[in-house]
Amino acid sequence: QKEVEQNSGPLSVPEGAIASLNCTYSDRGSQSFFWYRQYSGKSPELIMSIYSNGDKEDGRFTAQLNKASQYVSLLIRDSQPSDSATYLCAVTPSYNTDKLIFGTGTRLQVFP
Amino acid sequence: NAGVMQNPRHLVRRRGQEARLRCSPMKGHSHVYWYRQLPEEGLKFMVYLQKENIIDESGMPKERFSAEFPKEGPSILRIQQVVRGDSAAYFCASSPPFRTNEQYFGPGTRLTVT
């Protein structure tokens, strides 16, 4: 079982729609969760962090965390073509809080 | 406010040569992490350093790879006797003190071994 799992996609949504990206993790003791955006050929960019159960909103982005289900998601409202990228979920494992374990990412395509 | 800097951005080496990748953390950041991203794979943690100390090298291959973060100057990831399988994007990240989870990535060095 992979430590962090994401559907590779591509996830295709029309411009203006809500994009929903999902991530599951295997380490029940994980406490810190992050979403990174990576454009093709570029480096990952931190867009959201979440540490507590529930929702955290920042502009058009909402991160949702459910530790009981070991599930974290990212919602992007009013999706724009410029949101087209690969979204990486990252988790801090309980056995080593200094490193991040990344999923392989979900490719999002927003079409006009 | 300069971000994490890495150089070179692209590096081509022949099999058997040495590769040196450099990373300067963001201003105010004292923690440096190196990750490797192979084609079609996720980012994999390699090593975590603070000034003059290797804190965690659990992700480093046992041979040919080494890392340092001297008191002065950038962090360096060194790969000796490169092989084709070392071709990848190598990313450095840095974090502020007391918030080691918030890691900000540099532009990466794309290593190609011919």
Which whole number is the average pLDDT over B6-19? 97
Q: Could you tell me if A12 lies within 8 Å of chain B, comparing CB atoms?
A: no
> Is the sign of the CA dihedral A67, A49, B94, B100 positive or negative?
negative
- Residue B17 has what pLDDT? 98
Q: Could you tell me if A99 lies within 8 Å of chain B, comparing CB atoms?
A: yes
Residue B76: C-alpha distances to residues A3, A28, B37 (Å): 28, 34, 17
Residue A77: pLDDT over 90: yes
For residue B30, give the 3-state DSSP assignment. Answer: coil
Residue B96: pLDDT over 90: no
For residue A32, give the 3-state DSSP assignment. Answer: strand
- Residue A2 has what pLDDT? 80
Which whole number is the average pLDDT over B52-76? 94
CA-wise closest residue to A100 among A37, A36, A16: A36
- Residue B1 has what pLDDT? 52
Instruction: Please state, for a pLDDT cut of 90, what percent of chain A lies above it.
Output: 88
User: How many Å is the maximal CA-CA distance in chain A?
Assistant: 44
A-facing residues of B in 7-66 (CB < 8 A) are 31, 33, 35, 40-45, 48, 55-56, 58-59
pLDDT digits (tens, 9 = 90+) for A31-75: 999 999 999 999 999 999 999 999 999 999 999 999 999 999 999
Is residue A99 within 8 A of residue B56, CB to CB? The reply is yes
Instruction: Provide the shortest C-alpha distance from residue B37 to chain A (in Å).
Output: 10
CA-wise closest residue to B4 among B110, B104, B82: B104
Contact: A103, B42; criterion CB under 8 Å: yes
Nearest CB partner across the interface for A43, out of B44, B56, B91: B91
Cβ of A34: how many Cβ atoms within 10 Å? Answer: 23
Residues in Cβ contact with B11 at an 8 Å cutoff, skipping those fewer than 6 apart: B19, B21, B109, B110, B111, B112
Banded pLDDT at A96 (limits 50, 70, 90): confident
- Residue B97 has what pLDDT? 81
Which whole number is the average pLDDT over B79-83? 98
Query: Distance between CA atoms of A16 and A53, rounded to whole angstroms?
Result: 27
Which whole number is the average pLDDT over A5-29? 95
Residue B109 bridge partners (DSSP): B90
B-facing residues of A in 26-45 (CB < 8 A) are 32, 34, 36, 42-45
Nearest CB partner across the interface for B48, out of A43, A44, A98: A98
